[in-house]
Structure formats: structure tokens, C-alpha cells
Amino acid sequence: MIDLSTKYLGLTLKNPLIVGSSGLTNSLEDIKDLEKKGAGAVVLKSIFEEEILMEYEQELKNVAFDDNNLEYYDYFDYKIKEENLGKYIALIESCKKEVNIPVIASINCISSAEWSLFAKKIQDAGASALELNAFILPTDLTRSGAETEQLYFDIIKNVKKVVRIPVSLKISYYFSNVAQMIQQLSETDIAGLVLFNRFYSPDFDIENRKVLSTHVLSSPQDLAISLRWIAIMANRVNCSLAASTGVHDGEAFIKQLLAGADAVQVVSTLYKNGTDQITRILNDLEDWMRKNKYAAIADFKGQMSQENSHNPAIFERVQFMKYFGEMKK
């Protein structure tokens, strides 16, 4: 018997495949389908901090026109947040009743401000855990790298003040010392890190001089960055690690487990191949484990991490010296 179960954020998952936050995890029907196809857990589509605040500001402008009463603002503040959250909370509550796999809520945040109170409502609605998609692109010329990094710690502190469910942090690799930052974050109260989130990438339409958003979906080649950092950080962190970005098939999935991931998130491949891809990936994993005589995930997880490598420098090699020397036109 092959046992695919794994521990992630202190939760027991029946297998390490998590459907990542996206439009695929936005409704009860879709989540039930993902569960039926075999997913070990799902991360709900994020509530965006910016979205909520933008709407809030717009409403404030409207009321400020005829009413300056502060109590009135307070009322509005409360009501608008309730409206935004209402649907999300209802989704968590219905998942709690009708879905058996862990459902992880998600907030996309860029500051450590008042939105952290939402986390408590998410917990009270029955979410198994909360993933914070900390989306801070370091473009602010007036903010130092250290200040930007501090924001992540402030976010965790504020959220952990109000919730006791496991909290994970989904981050980018835009840090001057990625390894140290990952390790330091893992020493906080978070239960896990997701390496890495993926940004919209700008592109240009040169005929109409317009900026476009392209490559919304990842490609299999995008695997390399998270594979490298999962392999480097495995067993060097004090929390769970989930791999995300570029996992499109069973082979890539197995690579991330060999690198040392406790769980692996998939999104783009499900958009491209349909949700049956979940079953295919899990079947490939089982076939490979059977062929290699592994009975459980722990039998091979992290076997190819940097720590277990005979040639650890290979994970740090970034130059193409050999290829430049040998490559023919």
C-alpha cells in the first residue's frame, strides 16, 4: 500500500497536492470538484487588501460630500468590510460543512494595517489555515530593503495577534539575501512558507504603444526557481515548505518532493489541462513510488535537497561558463 499522506502547516493532508489560490478555488462547486479529483487541500482565491481599501476609499468620498460625522464613517467602515467579506465568509462556512479536505483561506496583502482583523473572521468561519500572499514588489525608492523586509515581520505579528489557526506566507524571491530572509521568516510564528508567488509580468504592444499583461499562466520552464530554493532551504527552516510555480506534471511534482517540499501547489496546469490533471499527477506519483519501492512520501522527501547533495555547489552555480565555452552557433 502506498501512503501519500503528508504534514503541512501542522495539518495532515491525504496527499501533498494543493490547488493554489486562483479562480479555480472561488466557488463551492469548483472546490468540490477539486476534492473529487483527489486534491489534498485547496487555497481559496485571495481577498485583496487593495481591493477592499479602494472600495472603502471610494465610499468614504461619497459620504464625505454630505456628512462629516465620524461615527458615520465608523459605520461605513464596518459595513463595507462586511460586504466584501460576506461572500468570502459564506464560502468558508459552506466549505466547512461540505468539503472534507483542508480549506486554506488567502489574503493578498501589502501592508500590516487594519485588514488583519479580517483574519479573525476567516478563522471564526472555519478555515483550516490562512495563507498570506505578501505581494510587495520592492519598487519604492524611498524605502530601504531593510524597511521592506520589516513589513513581512509586521504583517505576521499583526495577524498572529488575532488568530491561532496556522498561518503561511507566500512570498517572492525579491530579497537581497533570499536564504536568510526565508530562514528568519521561518523562525516567526508562521507555520509555513510558499515558495514562490508569481507576478503579472508586463509586456509591450509595440504597434499601439500599450503595456500588456502577459504570461498569466506559468510554463514548465518556470519550475527552476522554486526547485532551486526549495532544495536549498529544505531542512534549514523551522516551518513547512510548499513549492509553487511551474509544476505542470507528475515529473515536476516529484522533483519538488525530492527537493524537500512538504506540499506542492498547482494552478496553471489545471487551467491548461483541466482538473483531471490532479488525478494524472497523483497517479504518476504513485506509479513512480511503486517503481522505486517507496511506501511513503517521507521515504524520499528531500533526498535531492542541497543538504543531501554530494555536490552542494551545483545549486549555487549561476553562470554559464561551460556552455559559453562549448556552445556552437
Ligand X SMILES: Cc1cc2nc3c(=O)[nH]c(=O)nc-3n(C[C@H](O)[C@H](O)[C@H](O)COP(=O)(O)O)c2cc1C
Of 185, 57, 188, the C-alpha closest to 113 is 57
Closest by Cα among 102, 112, 110 to 240: 102
Burial of 49-61, coded b for 16+ CB within 10 Å and e otherwise, reads beebbeebeebee
- Single-letter amino acid, residue 313: A
What backbone torsions phi and psi does residue 204 show, to the nearest 5 degrees? Answer: -110, 140
Alpha-carbon gap, residue 134 to 117, rounded angstroms:
16
Question: Are 150 and 138 in contact, with CB atoms under 8 Å apart?
Answer: no
CB of 11 to ligand X, least distance (A): 18
- Which of 256, 218, 282, 255 is CA-nearest to residue 37? 282
- Cβ proximity to ligand X: between 216 and 314 the closer is 216
Q: Tell me whether residue 123 or residue 172 sits nearer to ligand X (CB atom).
A: 172
* Residue 252 CB, nearest approach to ligand X (Å): 9
CA distance 163 to 120: 6
Measured from the CB atom, is 163 or 264 closer to ligand X?
Answer: 264
Smallest separation, CB 47 to ligand X (Å): 8
Angle at which helix 28-37 crosses helix 276-291, to 10 degrees, equals 20
Task: Please state the closest distance from residue 64 (CB atom) to ligand X, in A.
Answer: 31
Alpha carbon distance 158, 190 (integer Å): 12
Identify which of residues 39 and 267 has a Cβ nearer to ligand X in the complex: 267
Please check whether residue 302 is in contact with residue 258, taking contact to mean a CB–CB distance below 8 angstroms. Answer: yes
Nearest to ligand X of 35, 222 (CB atom): 222
Nearer to ligand X, 104 or 289 (CB): 104
Q: Are strands 263-266 and 192-195 parallel, antiparallel or unpaired?
A: unpaired
Nearer to ligand X, 133 or 158 (CB): 133
Closest approach, Cβ 242 to ligand X, in A, equals 10
Q: Please report how close the Cβ of residue 328 comes to ligand X at its closest, in angstroms.
A: 33
Residues engaged in binding ligand X (CB under 6 A): 20-23, 45-46, 106, 108, 133, 170, 197-198, 216-218, 222, 244-247, 266-268
Dist. CA 72–CA 55, nearest whole Å: 16
**Shortest Å, Cβ 199 to ligand X:** 9
